[in-house]
Amino acid sequence: MTPATDSRIQPPTPRLIATDLDGTLLRDDKSVSDRTVAALAAAEEAGIEVFFVTGRPARWMDVVSDHVHGHGLAICANGAAVVDLHAGGTMLEVRSLERATALEVVRTLRERAPGTSFAVETTGGFHHEPTYTSQFTYDPGTIVAVAEKLLHEEAGRGAPVLKLLAQHPRLEPDDFLALARATVGAHASVTRSSPSALLEISGPGVSKASTLARCCAERGISAAEVVAFGDMPNDVDMLTWAGTSYAMGNAHPDAIAAASGRTTANNEDGVAMVIERILGDLP
């Protein structure tokens, strides 16, 4: 069986396509290929809504903002925000991480994984400790002394926290994820999308899947009518929830195990390949 050709995993009447961005829809150079642009537009023309569902904050959505058509919506920060890309990234819904919970997570991980550095993504911007290494030089954020000070001082009056980021310089990425889930997973949602030991921590029950399910329910769309694409642990819940799902050829083993099918890698336009086949099979 070749990737993206198993007819058993194609829904009869897909109504919504939900796709991750980095490592999935986007190529490694962060571009959207002409083939992918055409496939997204064709899906919308056929009446299939396209939702971008990403760990990115709203301010990093300019790379795909032109390719969300009628509804203009995207799910950002691993489900913590629903944004209107037609209105410059206006947040329509926020599912925040309570500051008291974030403080407890920081204190617990500092104790259980010494050397952990933290950053805080709020609706107002990005803040990180001096020892936290930002992966994105074009968006360095604001340096804060320690995350606890930021979270404590602004409690009750600061911008809502979308997610907490925890970075460790030595632990293996999956080991760090397992440790964090075991120690703070009862109080927050912990996942990762980076190839490094960088964790993304959201409010309890907040995930790509849970926010996507809410958006679909508002539209009368069932999970069986959704086709999802992803490549990393933060996509697992979404890939499991959707009636049909594809892990990319470059996907993490957990994403592969969660998906009902596979397609080719992001650099080979794996998402576009599946969309083209879906549209070709429509009556």
> In this structure, what CATH number is given to the domain that contains residue 74?
3.40.50.1000
Whether 87 and 23 map to the same domain: the answer is yes
Q: How large is the angle between the packed helices 99-112 and 173-184, nearest 10 degrees?
A: 120
- Same domain flag for 89 and 109: no
Domain end (from 179, 202, 225): 202
Do 211 and 91 fall into the same domain? yes
Q: Which residues contact 205 (CB under 8 A, 6 or more apart)?
A: 189
Q: Are residues 113 and 40 in the same domain?
A: no
How far apart are alpha carbons 22 and 39 in whole angstroms?
Answer: 17
Does 271 lie in the same domain as 216? Answer: yes
pTM of model > 0.95: no
Same domain, 29 and 63: yes
Residues 183, 217, single domain; the answer is no
Say if CB 24 and CB 248 are below 8 A apart: yes
Report the number of distinct structural domains present in the chain.
2
CB 202 within 8 A of CB 117: no
Q: In what order do the strands lie in the sheet with 49-53?
A: 90-94, 81-84, 73-76, 49-53, 16-19, 226-230, 244-247, 261-262
Domain encompassing residue 178: 99-202
pLDDT tens by residue, the chain, 283 residues = 345 544 344 555 799 999 999 999 999 999 999 999 999 999 999 999 999 999 999 888 888 877 776 678 899 999 999 999 888 888 999 999 999 999 999 999 999 999 999 999 999 889 999 999 877 666 778 888 888 887 876 544 578 999 999 999 999 999 999 999 999 999 999 999 999 999 999 999 999 999 999 999 999 999 999 999 999 999 999 999 999 999 999 999 999 999 999 999 999 999 999 999 999 988 8
| 173 within domain boundaries | yes
127 shares its domain with 60 = no
Single residue among 153, 185, 202 that ends a domain in this structure: 202
Two tokens, residue 160: 């809502």
Say yes or no: 176 and 125 in one domain.
yes
